[in-house]
Amino acid sequence: MRSQTSFNRIVTPATEAILAGVFIGNDADVQPQFGTVQNFAQDREIFSEGAGADYFYKLVSGTVRTCRFLADGRRQIDAFYVAGDIFGLEFGTHYGLSAEAVTDCMVIMYRKIKLDVGANHDTHLSRELLAFAVRGMARAQAHALLLGRRSAMEKMAGFLLDWSNKSPDRDTVSLAMTRQDIADYLSLTIETVSRTLSQLERDHVIDLPSARQIRLRKLDMLEDLAA
Amino acid sequence: MRSQTSFNRIVTPATEAILAGVFIGNDADVQPQFGTVQNFAQDREIFSEGAGADYFYKLVSGTVRTCRFLADGRRQIDAFYVAGDIFGLEFGTHYGLSAEAVTDCMVIMYRKIKLDVGANHDTHLSRELLAFAVRGMARAQAHALLLGRRSAMEKMAGFLLDWSNKSPDRDTVSLAMTRQDIADYLSLTIETVSRTLSQLERDHVIDLPSARQIRLRKLDMLEDLAA
DNA sequence: CGGGATTTTGATTCCAATCAAGTCCGGTGG
DNA sequence: CCACCGGACTTGATTGGAATCAAAATCCCG
Protein backbone atom coordinates (compact mmCIF):
# COMPACT_ATOMS: atom_id res chain seq x y z
CA MET A 1 0.00 0.00 0.00
CA ARG A 2 2.64 2.46 1.02
CA SER A 3 4.73 1.87 -2.04
CA GLN A 4 2.25 2.33 -4.85
CA THR A 5 2.85 5.25 -7.10
CA SER A 6 -0.60 6.73 -7.64
CA PHE A 7 -1.89 9.60 -5.56
CA ASN A 8 -4.10 7.18 -3.70
CA ARG A 9 -3.39 6.63 -0.06
CA ILE A 10 -0.59 9.09 0.29
CA VAL A 11 -2.40 10.10 3.42
CA THR A 12 -2.95 6.95 5.39
CA PRO A 13 -5.57 6.62 8.11
CA ALA A 14 -2.89 7.02 10.76
CA THR A 15 -1.69 10.20 9.12
CA GLU A 16 -5.17 11.53 8.69
CA ALA A 17 -5.45 11.65 12.44
CA ILE A 18 -2.22 13.58 12.69
CA LEU A 19 -3.02 15.93 9.85
CA ALA A 20 -6.52 16.68 10.99
CA GLY A 21 -6.57 16.14 14.68
CA VAL A 22 -3.49 16.72 16.68
CA PHE A 23 -3.03 20.43 16.37
CA ILE A 24 -6.66 21.43 16.21
CA GLY A 25 -8.71 23.13 18.87
CA ASN A 26 -12.34 22.42 19.63
CA ASP A 27 -14.89 22.62 16.88
CA ALA A 28 -18.48 21.93 17.72
CA ASP A 29 -19.80 20.54 14.45
CA VAL A 30 -16.92 18.45 13.17
CA GLN A 31 -15.04 15.38 14.23
CA PRO A 32 -11.58 16.81 13.67
CA GLN A 33 -9.72 13.56 14.05
CA PHE A 34 -11.57 12.06 11.10
CA GLY A 35 -12.55 15.02 8.97
CA THR A 36 -16.02 15.90 7.76
CA VAL A 37 -17.79 14.08 4.96
CA GLN A 38 -19.39 16.30 2.36
CA ASN A 39 -21.22 15.76 -0.90
CA PHE A 40 -21.14 18.00 -3.94
CA ALA A 41 -23.48 17.85 -6.93
CA GLN A 42 -22.09 17.94 -10.43
CA ASP A 43 -20.51 21.30 -11.36
CA ARG A 44 -20.71 22.66 -7.84
CA GLU A 45 -17.75 24.64 -6.62
CA ILE A 46 -15.84 23.03 -3.75
CA PHE A 47 -13.56 25.96 -3.10
CA SER A 48 -12.69 29.02 -5.05
CA GLU A 49 -9.47 30.67 -6.16
CA GLY A 50 -8.35 33.31 -3.70
CA ALA A 51 -10.40 32.04 -0.76
CA GLY A 52 -8.67 31.22 2.51
CA ALA A 53 -7.24 27.72 2.32
CA ASP A 54 -8.33 26.44 5.73
CA TYR A 55 -9.22 22.96 4.56
CA PHE A 56 -7.91 20.31 2.27
CA TYR A 57 -9.84 17.42 0.81
CA LYS A 58 -9.65 13.75 0.14
CA LEU A 59 -11.87 12.53 -2.65
CA VAL A 60 -13.92 9.48 -1.70
CA SER A 61 -15.87 9.08 -4.94
CA GLY A 62 -16.46 10.96 -8.15
CA THR A 63 -14.13 13.26 -10.09
CA VAL A 64 -12.93 16.78 -9.32
CA ARG A 65 -11.19 19.40 -11.44
CA THR A 66 -9.02 22.28 -10.29
CA CYS A 67 -9.08 25.27 -12.57
CA ARG A 68 -8.49 28.94 -13.10
CA PHE A 69 -10.57 31.46 -15.01
CA LEU A 70 -9.01 34.22 -17.07
CA ALA A 71 -10.60 37.65 -17.25
CA ASP A 72 -12.15 37.03 -20.67
CA GLY A 73 -13.82 33.80 -19.64
CA ARG A 74 -11.21 31.34 -20.83
CA ARG A 75 -10.85 28.43 -18.45
CA GLN A 76 -7.73 26.38 -17.80
CA ILE A 77 -7.93 23.09 -16.00
CA ASP A 78 -4.84 22.28 -13.99
CA ALA A 79 -5.69 18.75 -12.89
CA PHE A 80 -8.35 16.09 -12.49
CA TYR A 81 -8.64 14.12 -9.27
CA VAL A 82 -10.22 10.73 -8.70
CA ALA A 83 -11.16 8.63 -5.65
CA GLY A 84 -8.36 8.47 -3.12
CA ASP A 85 -6.62 11.65 -4.29
CA ILE A 86 -5.81 14.55 -2.01
CA PHE A 87 -6.45 18.03 -3.37
CA GLY A 88 -6.64 21.59 -2.10
CA LEU A 89 -3.65 21.19 0.22
CA GLU A 90 -2.12 24.62 -0.14
CA PHE A 91 1.12 25.66 1.47
CA GLY A 92 0.15 29.29 1.29
CA THR A 93 -2.83 30.85 3.04
CA HIS A 94 -5.13 31.03 0.01
CA TYR A 95 -6.20 28.69 -2.76
CA GLY A 96 -4.40 29.31 -6.02
CA LEU A 97 -7.06 27.53 -8.07
CA SER A 98 -10.75 26.74 -7.83
CA ALA A 99 -12.01 23.20 -7.39
CA GLU A 100 -15.28 21.94 -8.88
CA ALA A 101 -17.16 18.66 -8.96
CA VAL A 102 -16.93 17.10 -12.43
CA THR A 103 -19.49 14.51 -11.31
CA ASP A 104 -21.50 14.18 -8.13
CA CYS A 105 -18.89 13.41 -5.56
CA MET A 106 -18.13 12.75 -1.94
CA VAL A 107 -15.15 14.24 -0.14
CA ILE A 108 -13.68 14.26 3.34
CA MET A 109 -12.74 17.73 4.41
CA TYR A 110 -9.86 18.24 6.85
CA ARG A 111 -8.96 21.36 8.69
CA LYS A 112 -5.46 22.36 7.76
CA ILE A 113 -2.81 22.35 10.43
CA LYS A 114 0.03 24.80 10.78
CA LEU A 115 2.59 23.10 8.64
CA ASP A 116 5.70 24.38 10.35
CA VAL A 117 4.40 23.29 13.73
CA GLY A 118 3.45 19.88 12.42
CA ALA A 119 6.70 19.37 10.59
CA ASN A 120 8.64 20.03 13.76
CA HIS A 121 6.88 17.34 15.66
CA ASP A 122 6.28 14.44 13.36
CA THR A 123 8.55 13.11 10.69
CA HIS A 124 5.98 10.65 9.42
CA LEU A 125 3.65 13.53 8.69
CA SER A 126 6.34 15.53 6.98
CA ARG A 127 7.16 12.57 4.79
CA GLU A 128 3.53 12.33 3.73
CA LEU A 129 3.53 16.02 2.95
CA LEU A 130 6.76 15.69 1.06
CA ALA A 131 5.35 12.80 -0.95
CA PHE A 132 2.30 14.91 -1.75
CA ALA A 133 4.37 17.87 -2.87
CA VAL A 134 6.73 15.72 -4.90
CA ARG A 135 3.92 13.99 -6.74
CA GLY A 136 2.23 17.33 -7.27
CA MET A 137 5.41 18.70 -8.77
CA ALA A 138 5.80 15.71 -11.07
CA ARG A 139 2.18 16.00 -12.16
CA ALA A 140 2.41 19.73 -12.90
CA GLN A 141 5.69 19.26 -14.73
CA ALA A 142 4.22 16.50 -16.88
CA HIS A 143 1.25 18.74 -17.64
CA ALA A 144 3.50 21.58 -18.73
CA LEU A 145 5.35 19.20 -21.04
CA LEU A 146 2.06 17.93 -22.42
CA LEU A 147 0.94 21.46 -23.25
CA GLY A 148 4.19 22.68 -24.77
CA ARG A 149 5.19 22.29 -28.42
CA ARG A 150 2.69 19.54 -29.07
CA SER A 151 0.06 19.08 -31.74
CA ALA A 152 -3.57 18.40 -30.96
CA MET A 153 -3.01 14.74 -31.79
CA GLU A 154 -0.01 14.45 -29.48
CA LYS A 155 -1.89 16.09 -26.62
CA MET A 156 -4.91 13.85 -27.12
CA ALA A 157 -2.80 10.69 -27.29
CA GLY A 158 -0.96 11.71 -24.13
CA PHE A 159 -4.23 12.38 -22.36
CA LEU A 160 -5.67 9.00 -23.29
CA LEU A 161 -2.52 7.22 -22.15
CA ASP A 162 -2.61 9.03 -18.81
CA TRP A 163 -6.12 7.80 -18.17
CA SER A 164 -5.31 4.39 -19.50
CA ASN A 165 -2.63 4.13 -16.82
CA LYS A 166 -5.07 5.10 -14.10
CA SER A 167 -7.67 2.67 -15.36
CA PRO A 168 -8.03 -0.86 -13.99
CA ASP A 169 -8.24 -2.09 -17.58
CA ARG A 170 -5.37 -0.58 -19.57
CA ASP A 171 -7.33 -0.42 -22.82
CA THR A 172 -10.71 0.82 -21.65
CA VAL A 173 -11.04 4.42 -20.56
CA SER A 174 -14.22 5.82 -19.04
CA LEU A 175 -14.19 9.58 -19.07
CA ALA A 176 -16.15 11.35 -16.38
CA MET A 177 -15.59 14.73 -17.97
CA THR A 178 -17.09 16.51 -20.96
CA ARG A 179 -15.26 17.41 -24.16
CA GLN A 180 -15.11 20.95 -22.83
CA ASP A 181 -13.23 19.75 -19.75
CA ILE A 182 -10.77 17.84 -21.90
CA ALA A 183 -10.35 20.87 -24.14
CA ASP A 184 -9.65 23.16 -21.19
CA TYR A 185 -7.13 20.70 -19.79
CA LEU A 186 -5.27 20.33 -23.10
CA SER A 187 -5.70 23.92 -24.23
CA LEU A 188 -7.70 22.97 -27.30
CA THR A 189 -11.31 23.60 -28.37
CA ILE A 190 -14.10 21.07 -28.04
CA GLU A 191 -14.24 20.87 -31.83
CA THR A 192 -10.58 19.97 -32.08
CA VAL A 193 -10.89 17.38 -29.30
CA SER A 194 -13.84 15.84 -31.10
CA ARG A 195 -12.16 15.88 -34.51
CA THR A 196 -9.00 14.34 -33.09
CA LEU A 197 -10.92 11.51 -31.45
CA SER A 198 -12.86 10.91 -34.66
CA GLN A 199 -9.59 10.78 -36.57
CA LEU A 200 -8.22 8.19 -34.14
CA GLU A 201 -11.37 6.14 -34.61
CA ARG A 202 -11.13 6.33 -38.41
CA ASP A 203 -7.53 5.10 -38.08
CA HIS A 204 -8.74 2.17 -35.93
CA VAL A 205 -6.54 3.29 -33.01
CA ILE A 206 -9.56 3.64 -30.73
CA ASP A 207 -13.26 2.76 -30.64
CA LEU A 208 -15.91 5.15 -29.37
CA PRO A 209 -18.84 2.94 -28.34
CA SER A 210 -20.23 6.04 -26.62
CA ALA A 211 -18.88 9.53 -26.23
CA ARG A 212 -17.48 8.94 -22.74
CA GLN A 213 -16.42 5.34 -23.24
CA ILE A 214 -13.19 4.82 -25.15
CA ARG A 215 -11.65 1.54 -26.19
CA LEU A 216 -7.92 1.76 -26.90
CA ARG A 217 -7.28 -0.74 -29.67
CA LYS A 218 -3.65 0.04 -30.37
CA LEU A 219 -1.81 1.26 -27.32
CA ASP A 220 1.55 1.06 -29.05
CA MET A 221 0.31 3.28 -31.84
CA LEU A 222 -1.01 5.76 -29.28
CA GLU A 223 2.42 5.80 -27.63
CA ASP A 224 3.98 6.68 -30.97
CA LEU A 225 1.44 9.44 -31.54
CA ALA A 226 2.15 10.90 -28.11
CA ALA A 227 5.75 11.57 -29.29
CA MET B 1 16.39 34.67 5.63
CA ARG B 2 14.18 31.74 6.40
CA SER B 3 11.02 33.51 5.38
CA GLN B 4 11.90 34.85 1.95
CA THR B 5 10.00 33.38 -0.91
CA SER B 6 12.61 32.97 -3.64
CA PHE B 7 14.37 29.70 -4.23
CA ASN B 8 17.53 31.17 -2.79
CA ARG B 9 18.81 29.78 0.43
CA ILE B 10 16.27 27.03 0.82
CA VAL B 11 19.26 24.91 1.64
CA THR B 12 21.18 26.72 4.33
CA PRO B 13 24.83 26.07 5.13
CA ALA B 14 23.82 24.00 8.15
CA THR B 15 21.55 21.89 5.98
CA GLU B 16 24.16 21.50 3.30
CA ALA B 17 26.23 19.59 5.79
CA ILE B 18 23.34 17.33 6.61
CA LEU B 19 22.28 16.79 3.03
CA ALA B 20 25.72 16.12 1.73
CA GLY B 21 27.72 14.84 4.61
CA VAL B 22 26.02 12.93 7.32
CA PHE B 23 24.93 9.84 5.47
CA ILE B 24 27.81 9.60 3.09
CA GLY B 25 30.65 7.14 3.11
CA ASN B 26 34.25 7.92 2.18
CA ASP B 27 35.01 9.50 -1.12
CA ALA B 28 38.60 10.26 -1.96
CA ASP B 29 38.27 13.26 -4.23
CA VAL B 30 35.44 15.24 -2.69
CA GLN B 31 34.76 17.04 0.54
CA PRO B 32 31.41 15.45 1.19
CA GLN B 33 30.38 17.74 4.00
CA PHE B 34 30.56 20.76 1.74
CA GLY B 35 29.90 19.41 -1.71
CA THR B 36 32.15 19.73 -4.73
CA VAL B 37 32.52 22.93 -6.70
CA GLN B 38 32.33 22.51 -10.44
CA ASN B 39 32.36 24.81 -13.42
CA PHE B 40 30.52 24.34 -16.67
CA ALA B 41 31.08 26.25 -19.89
CA GLN B 42 28.16 27.68 -21.80
CA ASP B 43 25.88 25.01 -23.34
CA ARG B 44 27.61 22.15 -21.56
CA GLU B 45 25.37 19.45 -20.20
CA ILE B 46 25.35 19.17 -16.41
CA PHE B 47 23.31 16.00 -16.27
CA SER B 48 21.17 14.18 -18.76
CA GLU B 49 17.65 12.86 -18.78
CA GLY B 50 17.52 9.22 -17.75
CA ALA B 51 20.89 9.18 -16.01
CA GLY B 52 21.14 8.04 -12.41
CA ALA B 53 20.30 10.97 -10.13
CA ASP B 54 23.09 10.55 -7.59
CA TYR B 55 23.78 14.25 -7.16
CA PHE B 56 21.88 17.45 -6.90
CA TYR B 57 23.20 20.93 -7.47
CA LYS B 58 23.20 24.39 -6.07
CA LEU B 59 23.89 27.13 -8.55
CA VAL B 60 26.53 29.58 -7.37
CA SER B 61 26.69 31.78 -10.45
CA GLY B 62 25.34 31.80 -14.00
CA THR B 63 22.09 30.43 -15.38
CA VAL B 64 20.96 26.86 -15.96
CA ARG B 65 18.06 25.39 -17.95
CA THR B 66 16.37 22.04 -17.47
CA CYS B 67 14.89 20.58 -20.61
CA ARG B 68 13.64 17.60 -22.47
CA PHE B 69 14.16 16.63 -26.10
CA LEU B 70 11.44 15.03 -28.18
CA ALA B 71 12.25 12.38 -30.75
CA ASP B 72 12.02 14.78 -33.70
CA GLY B 73 14.40 17.29 -32.18
CA ARG B 74 11.91 19.65 -30.58
CA ARG B 75 13.15 20.94 -27.26
CA GLN B 76 11.05 21.97 -24.29
CA ILE B 77 12.55 23.96 -21.47
CA ASP B 78 10.96 23.26 -18.11
CA ALA B 79 12.72 25.89 -16.01
CA PHE B 80 15.55 28.35 -15.71
CA TYR B 81 17.64 28.53 -12.55
CA VAL B 82 19.74 31.40 -11.25
CA ALA B 83 22.33 31.83 -8.49
CA GLY B 84 21.15 30.36 -5.22
CA ASP B 85 18.68 27.94 -6.77
CA ILE B 86 18.73 24.21 -6.15
CA PHE B 87 18.15 21.96 -9.13
CA GLY B 88 18.44 18.32 -10.05
CA LEU B 89 17.10 17.10 -6.73
CA GLU B 90 15.12 14.10 -7.91
CA PHE B 91 13.01 11.96 -5.65
CA GLY B 92 13.24 9.05 -8.01
CA THR B 93 16.44 7.30 -8.97
CA HIS B 94 16.91 8.93 -12.39
CA TYR B 95 16.77 12.44 -13.75
CA GLY B 96 13.54 13.24 -15.55
CA LEU B 97 15.06 16.15 -17.45
CA SER B 98 18.46 17.24 -18.70
CA ALA B 99 20.25 20.26 -17.27
CA GLU B 100 22.50 22.52 -19.31
CA ALA B 101 24.52 25.65 -18.67
CA VAL B 102 22.85 28.65 -20.31
CA THR B 103 25.93 30.69 -19.49
CA ASP B 104 29.26 29.70 -18.01
CA CYS B 105 28.38 28.77 -14.50
CA MET B 106 29.61 27.49 -11.19
CA VAL B 107 27.73 24.91 -9.16
CA ILE B 108 28.17 22.98 -5.96
CA MET B 109 27.42 19.34 -6.43
CA TYR B 110 26.11 17.28 -3.52
CA ARG B 111 25.83 13.58 -3.28
CA LYS B 112 22.22 12.67 -2.73
CA ILE B 113 21.33 10.98 0.50
CA LYS B 114 18.71 8.34 0.96
CA LEU B 115 15.72 10.56 1.54
CA ASP B 116 13.77 8.17 3.72
CA VAL B 117 16.73 7.71 6.04
CA GLY B 118 17.38 11.43 6.23
CA ALA B 119 13.76 12.30 6.78
CA ASN B 120 13.60 9.97 9.72
CA HIS B 121 16.46 11.64 11.46
CA ASP B 122 16.24 15.33 10.86
CA THR B 123 13.14 17.45 10.74
CA HIS B 124 15.04 20.55 9.71
CA LEU B 125 16.23 18.72 6.63
CA SER B 126 12.79 17.44 5.79
CA ARG B 127 11.43 20.96 6.04
CA GLU B 128 14.04 22.15 3.57
CA LEU B 129 13.11 19.34 1.24
CA LEU B 130 9.43 20.09 1.64
CA ALA B 131 10.04 23.76 0.88
CA PHE B 132 11.95 22.75 -2.23
CA ALA B 133 9.18 20.44 -3.44
CA VAL B 134 6.45 22.94 -2.68
CA ARG B 135 8.17 25.71 -4.58
CA GLY B 136 8.88 23.30 -7.42
CA MET B 137 5.21 22.40 -7.58
CA ALA B 138 4.14 26.05 -7.62
CA ARG B 139 6.68 26.82 -10.34
CA ALA B 140 5.61 23.92 -12.56
CA GLN B 141 1.93 24.76 -12.07
CA ALA B 142 2.54 28.39 -13.00
CA HIS B 143 4.43 27.25 -16.09
CA ALA B 144 1.56 25.01 -17.17
CA LEU B 145 -0.83 27.92 -16.80
CA LEU B 146 1.50 30.16 -18.79
CA LEU B 147 1.60 27.67 -21.65
CA GLY B 148 -2.12 26.91 -21.78
CA ARG B 149 -4.69 28.90 -23.76
CA ARG B 150 -2.47 31.91 -24.11
CA SER B 151 -1.43 33.96 -27.11
CA ALA B 152 2.18 34.66 -27.96
CA MET B 153 1.78 38.16 -26.51
CA GLU B 154 0.34 36.88 -23.24
CA LYS B 155 3.13 34.35 -22.85
CA MET B 156 5.80 36.92 -23.57
CA ALA B 157 4.30 39.45 -21.16
CA GLY B 158 4.11 36.79 -18.45
CA PHE B 159 7.70 35.79 -19.08
CA LEU B 160 8.96 39.36 -18.79
CA LEU B 161 7.02 39.91 -15.59
CA ASP B 162 8.47 36.73 -14.08
CA TRP B 163 11.99 37.95 -14.71
CA SER B 164 11.10 41.44 -13.63
CA ASN B 165 10.11 40.00 -10.25
CA LYS B 166 13.41 38.17 -9.92
CA SER B 167 15.37 41.24 -10.90
CA PRO B 168 16.83 43.68 -8.37
CA ASP B 169 15.43 46.50 -10.48
CA ARG B 170 11.79 45.77 -11.29
CA ASP B 171 11.88 47.47 -14.67
CA THR B 172 15.20 46.31 -16.05
CA VAL B 173 15.53 42.72 -17.15
CA SER B 174 18.82 41.20 -18.27
CA LEU B 175 18.27 37.98 -20.12
CA ALA B 176 21.05 35.42 -19.97
CA MET B 177 19.32 33.18 -22.51
CA THR B 178 18.93 33.32 -26.29
CA ARG B 179 15.69 33.84 -28.17
CA GLN B 180 15.72 30.12 -28.85
CA ASP B 181 15.76 29.40 -25.12
CA ILE B 182 12.85 31.77 -24.57
CA ALA B 183 10.99 30.18 -27.47
CA ASP B 184 11.51 26.67 -26.10
CA TYR B 185 10.34 27.77 -22.66
CA LEU B 186 7.18 29.44 -23.99
CA SER B 187 6.54 26.94 -26.78
CA LEU B 188 6.90 29.53 -29.50
CA THR B 189 9.42 29.99 -32.31
CA ILE B 190 12.34 32.41 -32.20
CA GLU B 191 10.65 34.43 -34.93
CA THR B 192 7.49 34.83 -32.90
CA VAL B 193 9.44 35.76 -29.79
CA SER B 194 11.34 38.37 -31.76
CA ARG B 195 8.22 39.75 -33.44
CA THR B 196 6.37 39.95 -30.14
CA LEU B 197 9.21 41.88 -28.50
CA SER B 198 9.40 44.21 -31.50
CA GLN B 199 5.67 44.80 -31.24
CA LEU B 200 6.02 45.67 -27.53
CA GLU B 201 8.78 48.09 -28.41
CA ARG B 202 6.69 49.73 -31.16
CA ASP B 203 3.91 50.13 -28.59
CA HIS B 204 6.40 51.78 -26.17
CA VAL B 205 5.76 49.13 -23.53
CA ILE B 206 9.44 48.13 -23.49
CA ASP B 207 12.80 49.35 -24.78
CA LEU B 208 15.36 47.03 -26.31
CA PRO B 209 18.71 48.82 -25.89
CA SER B 210 20.28 45.50 -26.82
CA ALA B 211 18.83 42.10 -27.57
CA ARG B 212 19.41 40.75 -24.06
CA GLN B 213 18.72 43.94 -22.16
CA ILE B 214 15.09 44.90 -21.75
CA ARG B 215 13.71 48.02 -20.17
CA LEU B 216 10.12 47.65 -18.99
CA ARG B 217 8.57 51.07 -19.49
CA LYS B 218 4.98 50.25 -18.63
CA LEU B 219 4.73 47.47 -16.11
CA ASP B 220 0.99 48.02 -15.65
CA MET B 221 0.42 47.62 -19.36
CA LEU B 222 2.48 44.41 -19.33
CA GLU B 223 0.30 43.12 -16.51
CA ASP B 224 -2.78 43.78 -18.61
CA LEU B 225 -1.24 42.03 -21.60
CA ALA B 226 -0.39 38.99 -19.47
CA ALA B 227 -4.16 38.48 -18.93
C1' DC C 1 37.51 45.52 -39.32
C1' DG C 2 35.75 40.77 -40.60
C1' DG C 3 32.99 36.83 -40.07
C1' DG C 4 29.86 33.85 -37.88
C1' DA C 5 26.16 33.56 -34.91
C1' DT C 6 22.13 35.77 -33.31
C1' DT C 7 18.29 38.48 -34.11
C1' DT C 8 14.97 40.85 -36.90
C1' DT C 9 11.89 41.33 -40.70
C1' DG C 10 9.14 39.68 -44.64
C1' DA C 11 6.20 36.24 -47.45
C1' DT C 12 3.70 32.25 -47.31
C1' DT C 13 1.69 28.09 -45.34
C1' DC C 14 -0.72 25.36 -42.17
C1' DC C 15 -2.92 23.85 -37.97
C1' DA C 16 -6.23 24.76 -34.86
C1' DA C 17 -9.84 28.36 -33.75
C1' DT C 18 -13.96 30.20 -34.99
C1' DC C 19 -18.38 30.28 -37.06
C1' DA C 20 -22.22 27.49 -38.33
C1' DA C 21 -25.07 23.49 -38.90
C1' DG C 22 -26.30 19.13 -37.99
C1' DT C 23 -26.66 14.62 -35.18
C1' DC C 24 -26.90 11.88 -31.28
C1' DC C 25 -28.31 10.71 -26.88
C1' DG C 26 -30.47 10.71 -22.30
C1' DG C 27 -34.12 12.11 -19.87
C1' DT C 28 -39.17 13.58 -19.51
C1' DG C 29 -43.77 13.67 -20.17
C1' DG C 30 -47.72 12.53 -22.93
C1' DC D 1 -43.86 3.03 -25.44
C1' DC D 2 -42.61 6.67 -28.04
C1' DA D 3 -42.30 11.55 -29.31
C1' DC D 4 -39.93 15.34 -28.08
C1' DC D 5 -36.75 18.42 -25.89
C1' DG D 6 -32.24 20.18 -24.68
C1' DG D 7 -27.56 19.55 -23.89
C1' DA D 8 -23.48 17.22 -25.58
C1' DC D 9 -21.11 15.94 -29.34
C1' DT D 10 -19.78 15.77 -34.30
C1' DT D 11 -18.95 17.55 -38.76
C1' DG D 12 -18.24 21.17 -42.24
C1' DA D 13 -16.58 25.84 -44.06
C1' DT D 14 -13.81 29.59 -43.26
C1' DT D 15 -10.62 32.48 -40.70
C1' DG D 16 -6.69 33.70 -38.14
C1' DG D 17 -2.39 33.46 -35.51
C1' DA D 18 1.75 31.33 -35.19
C1' DA D 19 4.93 28.24 -37.84
C1' DT D 20 7.71 27.82 -41.61
C1' DC D 21 10.55 29.33 -45.25
C1' DA D 22 13.65 32.91 -46.71
C1' DA D 23 16.60 36.79 -46.41
C1' DA D 24 18.51 40.90 -44.39
C1' DA D 25 20.38 43.34 -40.43
C1' DT D 26 22.81 43.46 -36.23
C1' DC D 27 25.71 42.15 -32.65
C1' DC D 28 29.67 40.23 -30.80
C1' DC D 29 34.21 38.62 -30.47
C1' DG D 30 38.47 37.70 -32.17
- pLDDT greater than 90 at residue B5: no
Q: Supply the pLDDT for residue B126.
A: 72
| Residue contacts between A and B (CB atoms, under 8 Å) | 98
CATH number of B149-226: 1.10.10.10
Closest CA to A214 of A186, A187, A174: A174
Distances (CA, A) of A105 to A7, A31, A36, A139, A168: 17, 20, 14, 22, 20
Query: Can you spell out the DSSP letters for chain A?
Result: -TT--SSTTSS-HHHHHIIIIIT----TT--TTT-EEEEE-TT-EEE-TTSB--EEEEEEES-EEEEEE-TTS-EEEEEEE-TT-EE---SSSB-SSEEEESSSEEEEEEEPP-HHHHHHH-HHHHHHHHHHHHHHHHHHHHHHHHHTT--HHHHHHHHHHHHHHHSSSTTEEE--S-HHHHHHHHT--HHHHHHHHHHHHHTTSEEEEETTEEEES-HHHHHHHT-
**Top-confidence residue, B23 or B205:** B205
Searching chain B, which residue's CA lies closest to the CA of residue A130? B130
* CATH 2.60.120.10 at B8-147, yes or no: yes
Q: Give the per-residue pLDDT at A2.
A: 35
- The predicted pLDDT at position B163 comes to 98
Average pLDDT, consecutive stretches of 10 residues, N- to C-terminus, chain A (227 residues): 36 46 35 77 97 95 97 96 94 95 95 59 70 91 97 98 96 97 98 98 96 97 96
pLDDT at B18: 42
Please tell me which residue of chain A has the smallest CA distance to B90. A134
Q: Which residue has the higher pLDDT, B176 or A119?
A: B176
pLDDT at B17 over 50: no
CA distance B138 to chain A (A): 8
Least CA distance to A71: which residue of chain B?
Answer: B227
B133 and A137: CB-CB below 8 Å? yes
**pLDDT at B213 > cutoff 70:** yes
Judged by a CB distance cut-off of 8 A, whether residue A133 touches chain B is: yes
Element (H, E) at B135: helix B123-147
Task: Return residues 28-67 of B near A (CB < 8 Å).
Answer: none
What mean pLDDT is predicted for residues B168-183? 97
Q: pLDDT above 70 covers what percent of chain B?
A: 81
Closest alpha carbon to A92 in A114, A111, A76: A114
| Chain B: closest CA distance from residue A38 (Å) | 27
pLDDT top residue among A191 and B30: A191
Between B223 and A133, whose confidence is greater? Answer: B223
Q: What digits encode the pLDDT tens for the residues B113-160?
A: 765 544 445 667 777 778 888 899 999 999 999 999 999 999 999 999
Contact between A149 and B184 using a beta-carbon 8 Å cutoff: yes
Can you give the residue ranges of every domain in chain A?
8-147, 149-226
Quote the pLDDT of residue A131.
85
Mean pLDDT confidence for B176-180: 98
